[in-house]
Amino acid sequence: MKVDLSESFSKTMEAENSPQMVDIKSQPAVSLSPSLYFPPMLGDGESYHVFISYSSTDYQWTHSLIKQLESCGLQVCYHDRDFTPGRTVLENMSDCIHQSQKVLLVLSPEFVRSRWCLLEANMSLFRDCLGRKPIVPVLLESGVSVPLHLCHLTYLEAYDPDFTNKLLKVLCTSNQQLQGSTVVPFQPPSIYNGKALQPLHAVNDEGLNKWESGQFSDMEVPDQLRLIIEDQERYRKAVKIINDVAHKKVWLRPIWLRVLIYIIGVILFLLMGIFFIFMMGTSIHLEFALGTAAYVLTCVSLCCLLIGLIIQIGLWQKDDEKYILREMQKALGQANLLLSEEKVLMGCLSNSKIHLVYVSLDNCKNEFAEAFSEHDCAEVMFQRALIFFSSGYTCCLAKRHFPFPKPNSTNHLEGAVCFCQYVSQQLSRGQWK
């Protein structure tokens, strides 16, 4: 791929769909037709055709589905009924998965936040049994972020009109006939490159003012990153850069403080005006001049104070969110200098949530090296690009939406826009921010 990065940077320095959300959780599962498919035989050590893992918030929909699956002759295992009392959740899950032919995951926002994190954080415990079991991800709602280790699988959509037939076909097909349908240990970018991870939410999200920067936990690496980031200290340093925005950039943002500073400034201006008149007045007319000038100056100053205060409050209110977002994006660019080494990038569209993507920039970095080989500044230009553009690129990649048509040239990221293409497009549009 060839993108004219050198020319784009030179010109700049010279000038210095997601589908509509469908809520089906309250709807009953569509009736299944058992006449078309027959459950496969259970093998040695197998007690169930499928183990279903779901969040308790999706109880109604899932149990309706379970009843219909069992009415078709399938043996279903689920935690409410089949977990052994007195044992840990992890032990029960491991045994139930081992005794089941397949694993069905009901993916909803709550499931991804809770149960999948538990499974992913303990991937080593389930690696042996999951490596041999076909995984059937069922997307309960459109817009749910599919966990990283399921991104390479074809998932079923519960709101698909043909969902029931597709589900029965998979569950009634023997494991030997299902190819490439198992969760595998974390692999290089060939499978996961460009995939969105679960976002980070600010720990002070509740009651967060729009002029404040969200604070993010740096105590430990989140579950969705533990299998990706090898250097946990690097992650903590990156989060600290983001959290520093709250300490260094927002101390003048509260309205009462800015109003106080504004009033003090006007009072100082008023006193300086009176002092100036006093110094310029004559001894004969000094008292009269001082009185008249002070009165006029006071009235003018108070009017200016009132008008200026109204204007400033309006501007402050309008600029607050944009200001803190800009500052957070700058910090995220600095943080991405560290995290890009771990093939992770961060970006934000609000002050309370950080988007995460897993993406390899190695080929894009090589493109910079080739573009600036004659100038001996490839590394510097790549770092500048990360600082200015990586946050916006992350959000576009996470949302699968870019503010320009997809370039026709081949790139370094299959099915999406790679980083050097994004930088080139932004520079061509005069976007250096």
pLDDT tens sequence across 138-148 = 999 877 877 76
From the CB of residue 283, how many other CB atoms can be counted at a distance below 10 Å? 6
Enumerate the domain spans of the chain: 48-185, 192-243+340-428
Taking the C-alpha atoms of residue 381 and residue 245, their distance in angstroms, rounded to an integer, is 24
Cα 314 from Cα 311, distance rounded (Å): 5
Residue 355: pLDDT band with limits 50, 70, 90: very high
pLDDT digits (tens, 9 = 90+) for 248-302: 765 555 556 666 666 776 676 666 666 655 555 544 455 555 556 555 666 666 6
Averaged pLDDT score across all residues of the chain: 76
Q: What is the mean pLDDT of residues 401-418?
A: 82
Residues 394, 357 contacting (CB under 8 angstroms): yes
Quick one: 48-185 is in which CATH superfamily? Toll/interleukin-1 receptor homology (TIR) domain (3.40.50.10140)
Assign 241 a pLDDT band (cuts: 50, 70, 90).
very high
- What torsion, rounded to 10 degrees, do the Cα atoms 363, 367, 369, 371 define? 180
- Report yes or no on whether pTM surpasses 0.85: no
User: Looking at residues 110-123, what average pLDDT do you find?
Assistant: 65
pLDDT of amino acid 24: 47
